[in-house]
Amino acid sequence: MYVKINYEEESNIVILSSSRIAGGIGRACRNTGVVAASNMAESGAELKREVMDAAARFADTPDLRSVLVTSVLNLEKLEYDLYRGKHHWVPRSQRLFGGQIVGQALVAAAKSVTDQLHAHSLHCYFVRAGDPKVPVLYQVERTRDGRSFCVRSVKAIQHGQPILICQASFHMSQPSPLEHQFTMPSVPPPEALLTVEELIQRYLSDPNVADVTKQGLNKILAEEVPIEIKPVNPPDFYRRVVMEPKKLFWVRAKGHIGEDDMKLHCCVAAYVSDYSLLPTALLPYPKYRAQFSASLDHAMWFHNTFRADQWMLYECESPWAGGSRGLVQGRMWRQDGVLAVSCAQEGVLRVKNTTQSKL
């Protein structure tokens, strides 16, 4: 199903492609065995009834559309350039997930520009912790409208005060003879790797895992994170070895988004980009754990088209840490080696030594 958001209208409009529905019905029929090519004697009426039943089951499948589209990034319009967002997943810190606020802010900004303009960069400052008990208001200011570029300023507000300030720039695609990029890291394909959930299940099956570690891993399993991750270099949960401040993992949104709305894919990527980014700076320090961590600012640059519901390689590395802060840079690569997104984030990292004696 193709999902199209009309950013000029008050509510989201969903356009369903009949060809995609037909393909989905065919898949559903094949999966449930209701269509057998060898059974040519089956009556037309019976076949029609079973196809319709399969189509109904296909339509009712809960994860056909990504929850990021149907819930997290589906803002309610309150007034001209004023929107309200709701929450889906709240981290164990009981503060709002920064990627959610960035993604929703970009959605609000994108609703004020034409279909010919697409996000090429955003710069955000997190100024207060988000409260998961109340919704977030997004106030858009149309800072500038040019012929090929336009800028939007967005304020995310709770309890009458801003929690995030975002500047997003949009532009009209223009051809250029200047074109280069870094080379994508050589890693195993996502099909050859395990998801985070599968890795945790493997760790939990080890009888040597401490009870406190099991409790922490089970808490991770219980979280309803709307993205799927396959680590390339998964952390060692027991030995706590020193690792290079670099992390590689395949990531995609759970559920279906479709390919016809690049603005929406950028908003999903903004949500995804904040997940597990800052902890990259802690990898060289196994003796320390974060007592308090929070994002300070977040920047993104969108280079090429991509689909956030297909696997992309997220390359995260921390070139610097100091002064209770850490800087992490990230790159999202399409499977064909094209650099799709770059990002950078600085955050607070206050740590404590886990090896110190309590005596």
Per-residue pLDDT, 295: 95
Q: Which helix (H) or strand (E) holds 198?
A: helix 196-204
CA distances from 356 to 156, 209, 288, 353 (A): 41, 21, 10, 6
Per-residue pLDDT, 28: 36
Per-residue pLDDT, 321: 97
Residue 240 has pLDDT above 80, yes or no: no
Least confident of 84-98, 171-185, 207-221, 307-321: 207-221
Q: CB-based burial of residue 75 (10 Å sphere; 0-12 exposed, 13-18 middle, 19+ buried)?
A: buried
- Rounded distance between C-alpha atoms, residue 155 and residue 153, angstroms: 7
| Residue pLDDT, tens place only, 277-290 | 999 999 999 999 89
Residue 200 has pLDDT above 70, yes or no: yes
Per-residue pLDDT, 14: 29
Per-residue pLDDT, 43: 43
Residue 212 has pLDDT above 90, yes or no: no
Vertex 46: Cα angle to 43 and 52 (nearest 5): 135
What's the mean pLDDT in 233-260? 84
Query: CB–CB of 250/313 below 8 Å?
Result: yes
- Position with higher pLDDT, 331 vs 33: 331
- At 65, the amino acid letter reads R
- Rounded distance between C-alpha atoms, residue 111 and residue 263, angstroms: 9
Percent of the chain with pLDDT over 70: 80
Strand, coil or helix: 4? coil
User: What is the set of active-site residues?
Assistant: 274, 295, 345
Per-residue pLDDT, 327: 98
What's the mean pLDDT in 120-143? 97
Residue 62 has pLDDT above 70, yes or no: no
Tokens of 313: 């390689």
Residue 26 has pLDDT above 70, yes or no: no
What's the mean pLDDT in 61-80? 82
What's the mean pLDDT in 38-57? 43
